[in-house]
């Protein structure tokens, strides 16, 4: 059984799925209250462990992001670095994220840019989710986000197209709206739901959804949401009719029964879980694993490789013993083989100096990604770095950074400079940090710091 667990909302939703011919069959479907989660989930995993073959998980919506960046058409490695820089600028350095190139975007003149879809999940959240399954015999094969799982479901249903679609899951005490255009996740938002609303025409929920649709139209002036799709136990025909009239949009029925064998009730309240069941962990662009899990897998691979090497050494030793036990009549042939091996090793030794030089050049370079990430964490809001330079002096990388601190007044600007200096001092990448210049320019303070890189 494939177990799909959706942590995206206030309730924790779970389904069990089995493959039946060309369809998926939902064999279990239920919810947990968030307050009772740890005990209830642990007990369920313990009781059904023998029947579970795989687990897939989606994280809490407030701990995720989905954003499209338009970037210059660079080489793959440089483009990846540019995406990382933009993500840190927008969301700081607390997320594990992945990106996917979803096509070209015409720029000014003949310039062609790239459209990069990025999805992120907080590292802290990933580790917390991983700990929930620490005692489970089966560990989750993929962690992702609710919109990514939902996208997989809608794509399988043949719903996604170049016409914008707003999908709303309304399930008290909270709801969610996700707007798609083709393979792009354009907008995601949580919707608070009141316990009871008498007038659907003027309800806070209907107004909240309509404001979200208007915000989307303002963000993308040349587009409008032309299709609406609803799911969830709190959805009413009155809300559907009201929003359809206000937005001038078509209501698309939500029928996952075309893909799954399940009751209408189960499909209506578990769209995120149904999407998780359709994801391919090996091919999904936005599947995550906590760093702690990645490290464990890396150690297992190293141990497996070490075992293979040890076995190889033993086999070589056994072959060598076998060779030396040959009859003396075969000694000349053995010597000929040894000479051939020696010549091959001599040729290999001639190539080693070039590889050594290449390795030395690569290893002498600073770790750019670590330096840029550390800078992003060091520099507080209100401080702008103007220059960041360094060069190698003998065996040490020495550098200079200059910038301007702009607080609300001179005192706050000076405090910002002091904060920058303290951050450099406390950073594991920088040492021998000294503030050599500090100059008041109105309410701003220009500064200069010299440092050494600890690499």
Regarding whether 12 and 141 lie in a shared domain, the answer is yes
Q: How many angstroms separate the CA atoms of 313 and 130, rounded?
A: 38
Is residue 438 a part of any domain in this protein?
A: yes
Question: Domain containing 425: what range?
Answer: 368-453
Regarding whether 385 and 264 lie in a shared domain, the answer is no
Q: How many angstroms separate the CA atoms of 39 and 137, rounded?
A: 16
Is residue 272 a part of any domain in this protein?
A: yes
Question: 216 Cβ partners below 8 Å, 6+ apart?
Answer: 164, 166, 179, 186, 187, 223, 225
CA angle 278, 281, 282 (to 5 degrees): 125
Q: What CATH number does the domain containing 411 carry?
A: 3.30.1360.100
Q: How many angstroms separate the CA atoms of 101 and 76, rounded?
A: 10
The domain boundary residue, chosen from 344, 360, 376: 360
What pLDDT tens digit does each residue of the chain (455 aa) get? 999 999 888 888 999 999 877 778 999 888 887 655 667 777 888 888 888 999 999 988 889 999 999 999 888 899 999 999 999 999 988 999 999 999 898 888 888 899 999 999 999 999 998 888 888 888 999 999 999 999 999 999 999 999 999 999 998 778 899 999 998 999 999 887 755 544 444 478 888 899 999 999 999 988 889 999 999 888 888 889 889 999 999 999 999 988 888 877 777 788 999 999 999 888 888 988 876 665 655 565 665 666 666 677 777 766 666 665 655 566 566 566 666 766 776 666 555 555 544 444 445 556 677 787 888 888 888 888 899 888 888 778 888 999 999 887 888 888 889 989 998 998 888 888 999 998 888 888 999 999 988 76
Is residue 308 a part of any domain in this protein?
A: no
Q: Is 354 helix (H, G, I), strand (E, B) or coil?
A: helix
Q: What CATH number does the domain containing 235 carry?
A: 3.30.420.40
The domain boundary residue, chosen from 306, 339, 360: 360
Q: How many angstroms separate the CA atoms of 187 and 184, rounded?
A: 9
Regarding whether 194 and 262 lie in a shared domain, the answer is no
DSSP letter string, 284-305? -TT-B--HHHHHHHHHHHHHHH
- Does this model's pTM top 0.85? no
Regarding whether 130 and 58 lie in a shared domain, the answer is yes
Q: How many angstroms separate the CA atoms of 189 and 168, rounded?
A: 10
Regarding whether 164 and 71 lie in a shared domain, the answer is no
Is residue 303 a part of any domain in this protein?
A: no
DSSP-assigned beta bridge partners for residue 233:
none
What pLDDT does 180 receive?
96
Regarding whether 127 and 261 lie in a shared domain, the answer is yes
What pLDDT does 70 receive?
92
Give yes or no for a contact between 279 and 6, defined as CB atoms under 8 angstroms apart. no
Regarding whether 171 and 136 lie in a shared domain, the answer is no
Is residue 268 a part of any domain in this protein?
A: yes
For residue 98, give both structure tokens.
């992945």
Regarding whether 348 and 414 lie in a shared domain, the answer is no
Give yes or no for a contact between 129 and 59, defined as CB atoms under 8 angstroms apart. yes
Is residue 318 a part of any domain in this protein?
A: no
Give yes or no for a contact between 285 and 100, defined as CB atoms under 8 angstroms apart. yes
Give yes or no for a contact between 376 and 426, defined as CB atoms under 8 angstroms apart. no
Let me know how long the chain is.
455
What pLDDT does 407 receive?
83
Regarding whether 135 and 26 lie in a shared domain, the answer is yes
The domain boundary residue, chosen from 360, 382, 414: 360
Regarding whether 201 and 142 lie in a shared domain, the answer is no
Regarding whether 225 and 97 lie in a shared domain, the answer is no
> How many CB atoms are located within 10 Å of the residue 113 CB?
17
Is residue 164 a part of any domain in this protein?
A: yes
How many structural domains are present in the chain?
4
CA angle 372, 376, 381 (to 5 degrees): 155
- Cα–chain-centroid distance for residue 187? 17
CA atoms within 13 A on the CB side of 235: 22
Is residue 330 a part of any domain in this protein?
A: yes
Regarding whether 214 and 148 lie in a shared domain, the answer is no
């Amino acid at each position: 059984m494939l177990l799909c667990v959706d942590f995206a909302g206030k309730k924790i939703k779970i389904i069990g799925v089995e493959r039946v011919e060309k369809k998926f069959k939902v064999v279990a479907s239920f919810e947990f209250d968030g307050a009772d989660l740890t005990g209830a989930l642990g007990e369920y995993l313990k009781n059904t462990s023998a029947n579970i073959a795989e687990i897939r998980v989606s994280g809490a919506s407030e701990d995720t992001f989905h954003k499209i960046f338009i970037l210059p058409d660079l080489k793959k490695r440089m483009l990846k670095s540019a995406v990382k820089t933009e993500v840190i600028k927008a969301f700081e350095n607390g997320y594990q994220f992945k990106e996917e190139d979803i096509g070209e975007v015409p720029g000014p003149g003949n310039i062609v840019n790239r459209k990069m879809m990025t999805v992120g999940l907080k590292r802290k959240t990933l580790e917390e989710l991983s700990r929930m399954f620490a005692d489970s015999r089966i560990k989750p094969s993929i962690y992702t986000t609710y919109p990514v799982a939902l996208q997989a479901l809608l794509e399988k249903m043949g719903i996604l197209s170049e016409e914008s679609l707003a999908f709303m899951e309304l399930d008290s005490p909270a709801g969610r709206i996700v707007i798609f255009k083709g393979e792009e996740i354009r907008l995601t938002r949580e919707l608070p739901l009141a316990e009871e609303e008498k007038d659907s025409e003027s309800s806070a929920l209907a107004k909240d959804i309509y404001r979200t649709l208007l915000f989307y139209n303002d963000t993308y002036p040349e587009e409008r949401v032309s299709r609406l799709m609803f799911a969830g136990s709190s959805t009413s025909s009155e809300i559907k009719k009201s929003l359809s009239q206000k937005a001038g949009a078509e209501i698309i029925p939500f029928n996952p029964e075309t893909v799954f064998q399940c009751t209408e009730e189960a499909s209506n309240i578990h769209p995120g879980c149904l999407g998780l069941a359709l994801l391919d962990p090996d091919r999904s662009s936005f599947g995550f694993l906590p760093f702690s899990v990645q490290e464990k897998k890396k150690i297992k691979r190293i141990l497996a490789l070490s075992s293979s090497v040890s076995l190889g050494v033993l086999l070589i030793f056994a072959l060598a013993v076998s060779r030396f036990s040959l009859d003396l009549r075969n000694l000349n042939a053995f010597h000929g083989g040894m000479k051939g091996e020696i010549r091959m090793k001599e040729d290999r030794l001639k190539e080693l100096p070039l590889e050594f030089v290449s390795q030395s050049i690569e290893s002498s370079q600073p770790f750019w990604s670590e330096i840029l990430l550390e800078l992003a964490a060091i520099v507080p809001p209100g401080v702008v770095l103007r220059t960041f330079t360094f060069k190698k002096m003998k065996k040490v990388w020495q550098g200079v950074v200059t910038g301007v601190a702009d607080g609300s007044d001179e005192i706050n600007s000076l405090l910002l400079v002091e904060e920058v200096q303290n951050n450099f001092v406390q950073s594991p990448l920088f040492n021998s940090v000294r503030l050599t210049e500090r100059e008041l320019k109105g309410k701003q303070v220009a500064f200069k710091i010299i440092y050494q890189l600890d690499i």
